[in-house]
Structure 1
């Protein structure tokens, strides 16, 4: 088995730099589209055989060093007694945003084996066939809360911040329930066989450091502390657009810190201290000409040489418009320049 990814997570020496991409299974792949055109996105997430198939597709095509479970961060939120739908062009929609004490009281903290058995079955199916590590994941509580409060995606997060600042008790009650749900969900993924776990804090970069410390950090720490009590799988924390938060994100308890492209990888390594580092090619850099893309990757590998452990990744998810041939160039360059024979 190729376990360079797990070795890097643990800060061990690796024969080559492992590489995987966020959203590596998805819309940029014709093979994915062939499956997706027959079924809705939510149905795909809830059909273990198909979810496992699209998880494996980029591994078979590009030779990534880790697979990430095909699912969505909002799947466990639906299980909390919420109506979730995905609209083309609009993204996820919660028809009834959570903005009152009554709405929070009506949320349930589900038992994962009962509420999302399809996710756990997908993990088991993948573990029986993959020859590389499988990453499970969840959204971090603040990021999940923004979707519930806003009713979907947002540009300014007006309702979220209004609740934080004007109704902090309501906000913290909501975050406590989301945290309990997410903690149980990740523990169940580990029991099912996930070999690493990533917490996606996709929207946390909208917070000032003082607000992150009060309204987001305690909940991330709580989840990781819960996981530490029951499993030793590596934990990755990705705070998107979080360069201003690194003094605090280094304290969450994760093994690996993921960084977006707004911070040079050498600076990320310096700030990460005793953590392994994951990142951080701009997803749109995959549109560079081959020679320039390879040069940028080579430079990143050089600049990350002092990391306790290094995992090459994008600074956020791969975009649907990305040509698959560019992904192949990137993966091959990481392997070639880092010494994989």
Structure 2
């Protein structure tokens, strides 16, 4: 029988800077609707090994079957999620513990992935350095703090002295509660951080950008010696992100994924010179303090320089959908654990197509239990909800070509 988590009814207050949370009556109504929308899956039997199968796999161990979780597994493809996203601004949802907890749990209750990931954003820790941001519906992230030169970087707060319990008090409350929920649900808890280059690019551009021209101008200035603002900014971000990952672990996260969401903006040379060293520093901070907690590194759009990711210092490399899994396995070599990499658009196909894609990915990665199944990017808005269930169920069922 599937273990259901505690139902959260009372909303907890968020920081005074944001709009007040919904009333208890509103939350109860939304929660009841959420429960009614949850579909049962074919994986109702409790297996004690499921509790840490994702953690063991991310640590590089061969496991009894291929574990699965999905990037953006909590998202707008779910009707239950949209009841919140259509009504409450992003930061209110992600920084109000009761809502963030509920949104983190919806997808696991519906599909039984092998991990619950905290509902949050890679930009969430930026205010700890004095960088202000918002996420505007229909526009995306908007960052108003200007970072263009060395003086701007020096004005930012000290990355080494950040007290995350003071600056981001909701994170401990969210993760501590989710850790208990994950234990009760016999699964793992995943935390995540944004990679330094990605956060730097968002900040420098002030929003999403097709070309990251300002960012690349700062990188060129760094290379020609006219300004070291980029290097200084990346180093500051790396220290903060590494410490933020440690904070998540201390709050209950059992795995940390590092998202280099803008790797597609980088040439191999730019990755090696700027993004890679900064991410390595952040990962090193986490691994030196918590060597037994696996760290996964994902460079979205970075498959063209996958060979440069062999020595990131992470326990596992996640790959995007633009490379064949067998080729990715060959490039990385047999000793580097791998995660990925089904094309998210497959979830708009038939049940048979989805199940075949799962089997192909598992086989090309080395067979059942040899890698961590995921999409090669996030679940797309508009994805049929039943398609996610088909993917998860087939991954848990598949035991290889001979089975």
TM normalised by structure 1 equals: 0.95
Question: Could you tell me which residue of structure 1 aligns to residue 314 of structure 2?
Answer: 254
- 2:226 aligned with 1:170, yes or no? no
Question: Could you tell me which residue of structure 2 aligns to residue 197 of structure 1?
Answer: 256
Contact 1:301 1:338 in 2 (8 A): no
CA distance in 2, matches of 1:258, 1:331: 18
CA distance in 2, matches of 1:47, 1:289: 37
Contact 2:81 2:103 in 1 (8 A): yes
CA distance in 2, matches of 1:306, 1:275: 15
- 2:355 aligned with 1:286, yes or no? no
Question: Could you tell me which residue of structure 1 aligns to residue 80 of structure 2?
Answer: 31
- 2:194 aligned with 1:139, yes or no? yes
Which of 180, 200, 204 is matched with 1:128 structurally? 180
- Report how far residue 100 of structure 1 moved: 2.5
1:8-23 pair list within 5 angstroms: 8-23=57-72
Contact 1:197 1:235 in 2 (8 A): yes
1:231-256 Cα distance to aligned partner (Å, 9 max, x none): 02000000111122222211111111
- Report how far residue 42 of structure 1 moved: 0.2
Which of 97, 113, 121 is matched with 2:165 structurally? 113
Which of 308, 324, 328 is matched with 1:268 structurally? 328
Contact 1:277 1:308 in 2 (8 A): no
1:178-236 Cα distance to aligned partner (Å, 9 max, x none): 11111111110111110000100011232121221111111111111111211020000
Contact 1:142 1:175 in 2 (8 A): yes
Contact 1:10 1:309 in 2 (8 A): no
Contact 1:85 1:93 in 2 (8 A): yes
- Report how far residue 338 of structure 1 moved: 3.2
Q: Tell me the secondary structure at the aligned position of residue 138 of structure 1.
A: strand
- Report how far residue 83 of structure 1 moved: 2.0
1:209-248 pair list within 5 angstroms: 209-231=268-290, 232-248=292-308
- Pick the structure with greater CA Rg: 2
Q: Tell me the secondary structure at the aligned position of residue 24 of structure 1.
A: coil
Which blocks of at least 5 consecutive residues in structure 2 are unaligned? 1-47
Range with greater deviation from structure 2 (298-307 or 282-291): 298-307
Question: Could you tell me which residue of structure 2 aligns to residue 6 of structure 1?
Answer: 55
1:276-326 Cα distance to aligned partner (Å, 9 max, x none): 111001111111122122112211111112699301100011111111111
Question: Could you tell me which residue of structure 1 aligns to residue 105 of structure 2?
Answer: 56
Which of 104, 118, 122 is matched with 1:73 structurally? 122
Aligned residues: 340
* 4+ runs deviating over 3 angstroms: 306-309
1:58-89 Cα distance to aligned partner (Å, 9 max, x none): 11100101111110000111332122111122
Contact 1:104 1:173 in 2 (8 A): yes
Which of 144, 148, 151 is matched with 1:99 structurally? 148
- Report how far residue 329 of structure 1 moved: 1.1
Contact 1:123 1:189 in 2 (8 A): yes
CA distance in 2, matches of 1:304, 1:87: 38
